[in-house]
Homo-oligomer: A and B are copies of this chain.
Amino acid sequence: MIPGTPSRRVRVGLVQLSVATNRRTENLARAEGLVAAAAADGCELVVLPEAFATALNLPKSHEVAEPIPGPVTSWLASQAARHGVWLAAGVLERAGEHVHSSAVLVDAAGRIRDVYRRSVVYDLEAHFLTGEVGARAVDTPFGRVGLVVGYDIQFPEVLRTLFADGAEIILCPSILLRPFAEPVRQMLLARAAENCAYVLFAAATGENTLAGLTYMGRTAVVRSPMAIGAYSRDFRKQTPVLAEADREECVVAADLDLHELRRMRDAAPFLADFRRCGLSEALADATSAPHPSVTDTVPPHPAQAVGESR
């Protein structure tokens, strides 16, 4: 693939994983099988849920969290390199005294390309988790990609920095709970529309035994609903939800068309309008915190399997 020339089509696979608390080895084993299935299905970009290996496990989060790079990151790198896929996943990260619900993007050679810490922390989590503002997009063969995590989706400004940074595909590993399902679905549709981007929402399913609640599931690949020319009748209604699941453990796969997205973005001048009104600079200033752990020259990380088990 020639650098700088994005694929016209890219098949993505979102792994809707059943995430069990205190069952790390089992979670990784199931994830491994589903990543392999996604790769066998031709997926080039695969996304796992938030904190997929450990769950958030708030009372024990400081124990179960790990540094990035670290064991789960190495596991991701080895899976990515084994299958030659880009792989994004949520990792419960320990950084000093803080615990973050983070996400990592590794490339098909197993190198870390982006690390992102969830910006917004929910009320009850605030005793255990720390948020960190600073979303940004990175170049990939599939176009510009940005990461957000779970609860961030409720806060449009988190994604707006990605919009201002030219993100075309927004990845959202999630471990949100079932009561949020309807508003989250509405927000996914709006986020894709207002940011004129694909939104890949990879949700956890299964039971949060600590909370006595079920994870939301409803993984979905969502796109902007409509392409229109400025003041012309030449518009096409598009189905915004390209693929979705209910609550079963599975891979949700879809084909994205980056050339079509770029034509849409050119035809609908939201970004230019956004910049003209002056709000994008303010957001950029506010959210320009550097990303942790990733420098501009990305050192290669050797692909290593995780040997330890819990």
Task: Give Cα distance in the complex from A211 to B229, angstroms.
Answer: 12
Q: Which of A113-167 contact B (CB under 8 A)?
A: 119-124, 126, 131, 133, 151, 154-158, 160
Check if A60 is an interface residue, CB within 8 A of chain B: no
Contact of A279 with B155 in the complex, beta carbons under 8 Å: yes
Contact of B273 with A282 in the complex, beta carbons under 8 Å: no
Interface of chain A, main secondary structure: helix
Residues on the B chain within 8 Å of A193, using CB: 154, 183, 186-187
Chain A interfacial positions (CB closer than 8 Å to B): 119-124, 126, 131, 133, 151, 154-158, 160, 177, 179-180, 182-183, 186-187, 189-191, 193-194, 211-213, 224-226, 228, 230-231, 233, 235, 237, 240, 269-270, 272-274, 276-279, 281-283, 285-287
Contact of A124 with B273 in the complex, beta carbons under 8 Å: no
6 further A-B contacts with Cβ under 8 Å, apart from A123-B230, A133-B277, A187-B194, are A122-B273, A133-B279, A156-B157, A186-B190, A187-B193, A286-B286
Contact of A230 with B274 in the complex, beta carbons under 8 Å: no
In the complex, the count of this chain's copies comes to 2
Contact of A183 with B286 in the complex, beta carbons under 8 Å: no
11 A-B pairs, CB-CB below 8 angstroms?
A120-B274, A120-B276, A124-B231, A126-B273, A155-B194, A155-B277, A156-B157, A157-B157, A179-B235, A279-B283, A283-B283
Question: Per a CB cutoff under 8 Å, which of B154, B235, B287 touches A282?
Answer: B287
| CB within 8 Å for A194 and B278 given contacts A179-B235, A183-B224 | no
Residues on the B chain within 8 Å of A182, using CB: 225-226, 237, 240
Q: In chain B, what residue has the closest Cβ to A187?
A: B190
Closest chain B CB from A57 CB (angstroms): 14
Residues on the B chain within 8 Å of A186, using CB: 186, 189-190, 193, 225, 240
Closest chain B CB from A68 CB (angstroms): 20
Q: In chain B, what residue has the closest Cβ to A178?
A: B235
Task: Give Cα distance in the complex from A194 to B278, angstroms.
Answer: 22
Contact of A276 with B194 in the complex, beta carbons under 8 Å: no
Q: In chain B, what residue has the closest Cβ to A123?
A: B269
Closest chain B CB from A282 CB (angstroms): 3
Task: Give Cα distance in the complex from A270 to B154, angstroms.
Answer: 8
Q: In chain B, what residue has the closest Cβ to A237?
A: B182
Q: In chain B, what residue has the closest Cβ to A160?
A: B157
Task: Give Cα distance in the complex from A183 to B264, angstroms.
Answer: 14
Task: Give Cα distance in the complex from A182 to B179, angstroms.
Answer: 25
Residues on the B chain within 8 Å of A233, using CB: 212-213
